[in-house]
Chain A
Amino acid sequence: MIPFDYQRADRADGAVAAVGVRPAAAFLGGGTNLVDHLKLGVAEPELLVDVTRLPFDGIDTLPDGGVRVGATVRNSDLAAEAIVRQRYPVLSQALLSGASGQLRNLATTGGNLLQRTRCPYFQDVTTPCNKREPGQGCSARGGYTRYHAILGASEHCVATHPSDMAVALTALDATVHVTGPNGQRDIPVTELHRLPGDEPHRDTVLEHGDLITAVDLPELPMAARSRYRKVRDRASYAFALVSVAAALDVEDGTVREARIALGGVAHKPWRANTAEQALRGAPATEQSFREAAEAELAEAQPVRDNAFKVPMARNTLVATLRDLAGEEAR
């Protein structure tokens, strides 16, 4: 680990200025991903600006009916919040399916979004990786790829974004508030993370010095019936092989609206626009769910070890929608 300076920020503008002027500076949240990457030699910042004491620890109802989640709210507190459990159960369930109790007590909302898109080769500095060092080549291409992407990958990178929370936020159409060297802006969470393309080192559209201050959940009555379903190699405390965040609005046996995002399948949380489109106006039957899932996965391109993810994603999506439709019928 290379030596670094440490500052504790008490104002957002000060934090942004401190990081903005130093190319090798980074924000520090709960540290559960960044400190690991410091140890592994994957991250080598010269300055860490600790943003966990910034006044962004509230969960507040907005005048328009939405909910604002401060960037420093811990994952455990967000999952347990009554308004989240009642109005956005998919978010609470996604958070609770991620990491462990000890880590959720440390991890922040902003930090969870900005954990690195990664794969085992990215974390092993002895192997070439385009995400760590653009141009080195991708060790996963032709290597071990059980956990890798089946959608939206490029020849340069097949890593997946590991967050569960971000998958739920993607289904919910959350908005990310950012303050940076060039002022403030709002980014739909669906546009925060990137596909690798030919810039695999960039996980998000954020520029150096951009700081997430809050995430807004829109007023979305249909989200009161929403679910997160995660499939993994062991029952708990593992990353998703495949996960599904979904909300379903069914009336008289017909789907009025569906919100679906997939995790574990791409470099970013994957909003299932094709499946949603296919479901709108369709009968709420297993056949419709299956056709929608197959339409979404039609472009899937598995690599050596992860062809199983295509039927797994399909079946998990069908099961989740079936559960939600059954709930609706009760």
Chain B
Amino acid sequence: MDTRIELRVDGEQRSLTVDTRTTLLDALRERLGVTTPKKGCDHGQCGSCTVLLDGRRATTCLALAVAHAGSEITTAAGLADGEELHPVARAFLEHDGLQCGYCTPGQICSAVGMLDEAEAGWPSSVTEHGEGGAALDESELDDEEIRERMSGNLCRCGAYANIVTAIREAANGSGR
């Protein structure tokens, strides 16, 4: 069944007709030519298709496009401010947080979403549980926290050590 939907992608209003079976990932890549999010496993297990969906990180391979009609999507490319890279993207470059780069757009969107979650005080499963259910103290976003919070993004080159460094440095650089 074909349905007309609207999406706002990296600041641009886009209109397209999709079959109800189309995932958000396929709508972006195959219909709109937005190839920043990558198709890895296509089953929600690798995180390479991660974007910010209405401001929150989400995998797009398990999201139906029709179910997210009207939503605002920011891909890793859309994080840049003109020619100026997003601080997280810049940190990935500075610290070699990649080898082949295929998982990188998903890693960057996930990291940006994750840093927002941490700033909002969301705990993770490795956050110490204090009396009364600890909120995360921003200063406690250590490497263990970063690894746990980024576990939904796999890197088959194994660039994890530098990915953690890049995210740590980006977090500190933004005044955290």
Contacts and interface: CB of A to CB of B under 8 A. Distances in A.
Interface in B65-120: 66-67, 110, 113-114, 117, 120
B42 A28 contact: no
Contacts of B148: 235-236
Contacts of A6: 1, 3, 20, 64, 66-67
A93 interface: yes
Interface string A25-48: 000100110011011000000001
A82 interface: yes
Interface in B38-67: 42-44, 47, 50, 53, 56-59, 62-64, 66-67
Interface string B133-144: 111000000000
A102 B23 contact: no
Contacts of A85: 123, 132-135
B126 to A, nearest CB: 8
A28 B64 contact: yes
A12 interface: no
Contacts of A79: 122-123
B122 A236 contact: no
Given A6-B20, A38-B21, A236 B123 contact: no
Contact of B129 (A35, A93, A101): A93
A236 B63 contact: no
B121 interface: yes
A96 B110 CA distance: 16
B35 interface: no
Contacts of A31: 62-64, 67
Given A76-B122, A101-B152, A105-B57, A92 B133 contact: yes
A183 interface: no
B129 A89 contact: yes
Given A79-B123, A105-B57, A32 B44 contact: yes
Contacts of A237: 151-152
A1 B110 CA distance: 29
A88 to B, nearest CB: 9
A227 B133 CA distance: 11
Interface residues of B, number: 43
Nearest to A123: B43
A86 interface: yes
Give the interface size bracket for A toward B: 35 or more
A299 interface: no
Given A3-B21, A6-B67, A100-B47, A36 B152 contact: no
A80 interface: yes
Contacts of A3: 1, 19-21
A93 B125 contact: yes
A308 interface: no
Given A85-B135, A100-B151, A101-B114, A5 B20 contact: yes
A28 B122 contact: no
Interface in A82-110: 82, 84-87, 89, 92-93, 96-97, 99-103, 105-106
A175 B58 CA distance: 29
Contact of B135 (A35, A52, A82, A102): A82
A241 B114 CA distance: 27
A103 B149 CA distance: 12
B63 A35 contact: yes
Nearest to B125: A96
B162 interface: no
A85 B125 CA distance: 12
Centre residue among B110, B124, B149, B153 by max chain A CB count within 10 A: B124
B149 A101 contact: yes
A35 B62 contact: yes
Nearest to B61: A35
A32 B62 contact: yes
B64 A35 contact: yes
